[in-house]
Each structure stands twice: as C-alpha cells, then as structure tokens.
Amino acid sequence: MNRSTTCGAYGVLLAACALVAGVAFGPARALATEGGPIEFDEELTVKIEGDDQALEGDCAIARGQTFYVSVEVWDPDAVQDPGIVMDEIVWVKWYRRKQNADETWPDWNEVDEDSSPSYVGSGHYESTLEQTITEDGVYQFRAKAEDEGSPYNDPVGVSPTSSEVSIYGVEYVIALPNPEEVKAGNDVELTGKAYNKGPNGERYYDTHGSQISGQSDDDIELNASFEWAVSPALGTLDPTDGVSTTFSAGQEGGTCSVTATHDSNDISGYSQVTVYVVDYVLVSSNPTCVEVDDDVGISATAYSCGRNGERYYDEYGNAIDGQPDDDVVMGGTFNWSVSPTRGTFDPSTGTSTTFTAGGVAGWCTVTATHVTSGVPGSADALVYEDNNGELTDEVVLVTVSPAQTYLCEGQQQQFEGHAWKQTGEELDGATFTWSVLNSAVGTLDPSSGASTTLTAGTSPVCGSVTASHSSSGESGSAIVIVDGVYTTSESLVFYVDFTSSSEDWAIKIDDAEEESGSGDISGVSIDLDELDNGEDYTVLIDFEGTDIDDIEFTITIDENDNDLGLTIDDPDTDESISGF
C-alpha cells in the first residue's frame, strides 16, 4: 500500500471511530502527507519581559533582563481536516551562539528543547525560548524543528537566524518625564529608560533626560523593564513592573518620587511628580448684586496654590502683591448654597449656576463647595429692592483683607478696608475708623485711614480687627489669632584661632547652658532655639586662666536672620571681631 492510501484509510477509520464514540479530540491538527521540510516565519521575534512590543532589527538588551525569542513553524504539505486529529508533535530545538572577539561567529550550541510548542491554528505552532543572559556580548539565535508524526517523518526544518542581540550592563536609569505635574484624581504615564555609558564611560543624559553639556552622544539605550514604586504614596501605579507605568494621583497634594528600578542590578532612576489639589475656590463677581425676584449668573473656579504654596488671587479675584502667578486651575463641579436663604440655584450642582433672588432684600453669602475635595469658596451677594429702576452709589458693604490671619507675639500685619457700593463697585478713597476686639490681640496704628497695622499682643488669644465706614455706618471685620512665641531656629557659631592650642575657654549666652573646652574654637555652635524674636542677648566668651581679655557683645534675634558667625583671628585685640 502506498503512503497516501495508508494515510487516507487511517484517517477514514479514525474519523469513523470518533463519530461512533462521539469523542472530541481537541483542535484540528495537521494531517501529514508526502512533502518537503517544515517551514518557519521569515523572522524570529524578540520581546523583553514586561513589554508586548516586538523589538525591531538588531537590538541592545540590558544584562540580566529576561527576554523571549519566538518563531512560528508549520508543515506546508499538511492537509487540514477538522474531524481528524493526528498524533503529530513538532519538536523545536533552540540554538545560540556568541560572536567572537574578532567578530567571527562560532558554531551553534543547543540551549533548549521545546517538546510541546503551542498550537496557534491552521497547522501553525509557536515556540518560545526564554533567555536571561548575564555575560555581555553579541548573540544570535535560531531553531530547528522536526515532524515526529506516525508513521512517517518529514525532513528537519531550520529557521532563519535572528537579528543580533547585544547584551550590555545597565549603568544608569532615568524616568521620564521628570519632573511631572498631575491634578488630583488624574493619571500620568511614566517611562523608564536604561543606558550603558558607552565607550567614553560618561553619561550623556541627566536625570531630566537632557543632554549633559560637553558629553558625546555615545550612550547605548538598552531595552529593559523596571520595578516601579512611589514614595510617599500620593497615588497608585499600574502596572508595578514593565517599561512604563501609569501614576494615578489620589486626593492628597504634595511631591513624591516615582522610582524605576532595573532589578538585575538595582540601579534606579526617578521622576519627581507634583500632585496638585484644590486649595481655594473663587466665586465670580464678589460681591454681586441682584434685584428681588430677578436672577444673576454665577460661576466658580477651583485653584491649587502651585509650587510655591501661596495663593495668587485674593477672595475678590485680585492678584496678591508679590505672589508669582503659578496657581493651577483645577477641574470639577460645585454644590451651591446660600445663607441666609434669599434665593435659589438652578442647577444646584455645576461649574456655574443661576441665582434667582427671592422677595426679601438684604445681604447673603453665596457658597460654592468643590464636590471632590470639599473645599468651599464664597461671595457676598446683595438682594436689593428697585430704586426707581436705578442702583445707587450708597455704601452697603465693608470688608477687611486679609479676612483671617495667624500671628506670633510681636509680629505685625497690615489690614486694608474695602467699601462696596450698591452697584457692586468698590468706593475709591474710602477711609475707616479702626478698632480691635479684645485688646490682648494687639495695638493698631493708625486708628483711622484706608489701612492700619496691627502689632500682635500676648498669646494665645483670638479677636478681630474692625473697619467702620463713618458716612454709611457699615463695618466689616477680620479674624486675628495670636498663637505662640516666635523662637529662632538658627545658631550662633564661633571660630577663634589661638597661637597656642591649650587655652581654656567658655561661651555663654545670658542664662543659657554654656559651652566650654580648650584649644581653638572651631565651629562651636550655641543653639538659639529658645530665644525670642526681637529680644537682646549678651554673649560672653571667657578665656579662663589666661591673660586674654574676655569678649562680650550683644545680639538681637530677628526672624529673618540666617546663621550668625564670629571670627577672631587674634584674641588679644578687639579689632579682630567680625563676621556677624
């Protein structure tokens, strides 16, 4: 019986048995016929662990990085019959070689045998070789496959040779972009990059991915995946391993480091990520006016204070003097409310709303509360009755800025008064009579004018500063909290060089604990943590048991001082004291 007849009869018999028994034999496999060698894809595919993207052409991979070489293989002469399963297994043997120092190639070495390649359909199988190479060099791969079906075997097939895979050690890692900014609740993608420094041994990129001046561009970018971590945990990472990750910011603001570590040698790079959260909310047209039974449109905007941590706009939407314009506009919607209830909102939730006034005139406070963060912002609103169809210039509201402040004993704060007309405009040139509720809060100077300065009194105490507009009788107040005594965190540092190294000395500041010793005084530090702002203190340097005159001088602690220093080149003369 010839081969084709035997295989055909065998196939019919097997199909009949399957039909009678009602047994399923799994996916359709190739029914071998007479033919040529097993065939392969034209190219082998190389992928690193943690990345589904195939590498193209010759590639460089980090030493110790796990990667995979795969290929599809099939029998071109196979006949597919969905009802028949042949007992046919394609065996794939993998080979590797490393380039010699003279750039010649040695013979192939078998490195693995795949006895059960994956069936991928239509007679095709896929075999994958896993590699983790720890020796630098240039490598190539190829595979051989054999049809071990019964009763006949096709000739052995040999795959094409892979592209060159160069293995290099990782010498530095960067994570990009660096730095990065993201709003609370939003995502940002970060990517790790691993480099070998190349022939010159100097890195070409800094931690921000920018060229280092004067360095030649011979660094080798390596294909590598990373373990990702974040500290402090201002968000989450997904995935925690791979070439890239997505950082999902939480609702806590601040700056964190997202680190990419190549696990073969624990070399890391990081991106500094700033998470912005809602710090304050501005309500438009503050103050606003609306006639009874009429309506007015109102909107709100949420802001983060930016990198400097200070708000740029005051509660009226005016730029604050001296503050940089780096505040970040945040998204989100607001819940709208009013107190006392002099109207209604439509919608009650949104970035903007329409306020419809009721029939009762008077002042009220409109509040927009950011839904996600809970941060509120407010504006004063006047519901007025029609004065023959016209608004007047009558002052109907007085406000004081800043509206609330915290001070330490002895600190000063300037307050400004604002008088608002019924038209919603501020009255130019308004002056006020200033007073303080609870005299322990401090003293005001001057007592009348457009502004005044408060010098804080004793602590702890809470009170208010009030501005009264005499012609209208309207007044407004700001809250003042005096809490704590300012104490400096600086130190007084002494440097005294003697001609001899045996003299005894002692340094004392008023009743504070003294420092003493012998020999040169080099960098001796007296801690000033318990000294009060604005106070004078006497410093005494006593050269004990010597004929050197004692040195005595006075220092004044100021909250803006840096470290104080004293240098005495020749302790026998008074002219040598310097360096404050």
Name the nearest CA neighbour of 303 among 293, 295, 294, 313.
313
Higher pLDDT, 440 or 248: 248
Using the predicted structure, report yes or no on whether residue 567 has a pLDDT greater than 60. Answer: no
Name the nearest CA neighbour of 455 among 422, 420, 415, 490.
415
Q: CB of 357 within 8 A of CB of 363?
A: no
Q: CB of 565 within 8 A of CB of 491?
A: no
Residues with Cβ within 8 Å of residue 53, at least 6 apart in sequence: 47
Residues 439 and 369 in one domain: no
Residues 82 and 181 in one domain: no
The domain that holds 505 is classified in CATH as 2.60.40
Residues 63 and 178 in one domain: no
Residues 236 and 117 in one domain: no
- Cis before 460 (ω within 30): yes
Q: Name the percent of the chain lying above pLDDT 70.
A: 72
Tell which of 146, 168, 190 closes a domain.
168
Cross-strand bridge partners of residue 94? 112, 143
Name the nearest CA neighbour of 543 among 511, 512, 575, 500.
500
Q: How far apart are CA 278 and CA 315, in angstroms?
A: 15
CA quadruple 269, 272, 273, 275: dihedral positive or negative?
positive
Q: From the CB of residue 532, how many other CB atoms can be counted at a distance below 10 Å? A: 15
What Rg do the C-alpha atoms of the chain give, in angstroms?
Answer: 40
Residues 476 and 339 in one domain: no
Name the nearest CA neighbour of 329 among 367, 372, 278.
278
Residues 126 and 229 in one domain: no
What is the number of structural domains in the chain? Answer: 5
Residues 420 and 509 in one domain: no
Higher pLDDT, 154 or 346: 346
pLDDT score at 268: 93
Mean pLDDT of 170-178: 95
Mean pLDDT of 16-20: 32
Residues 211 and 326 in one domain: no
Residues 54 and 155 in one domain: yes
Residues 335 and 209 in one domain: no
Mean pLDDT of 218-225: 94
Q: How far apart are CA 345 and CA 355, in angstroms?
A: 5
Tell which of 485, 518, 538 closes a domain.
485
pLDDT band at 528 (very low <50, low <70, confident <90, very high): low
Residues with Cβ within 8 Å of residue 538, at least 6 apart in sequence: 509, 510, 552, 553, 554
Poorest-confidence range of 287-291, 370-374, 392-396, 475-479?
A: 392-396
Using the predicted structure, report yes or no on whether residue 13 has a pLDDT greater than 80. Answer: no
Using the predicted structure, report yes or no on whether residue 156 has a pLDDT greater than 80. Answer: no
Mean pLDDT of 44-61: 92
Residues 324 and 270 in one domain: no
pLDDT band at 109 (very low <50, low <70, confident <90, very high): very high
Q: Which domain holds residue 476?
A: 391-485
pLDDT band at 88 (very low <50, low <70, confident <90, very high): low
The domain that holds 147 is classified in CATH as 2.60.40.10
Tell which of 485, 508, 536 closes a domain.
485
Residues 443 and 399 in one domain: yes
Q: CB of 466 within 8 A of CB of 403?
A: no
pLDDT score at 28: 38
pLDDT score at 497: 44
Mean pLDDT of 363-374: 93
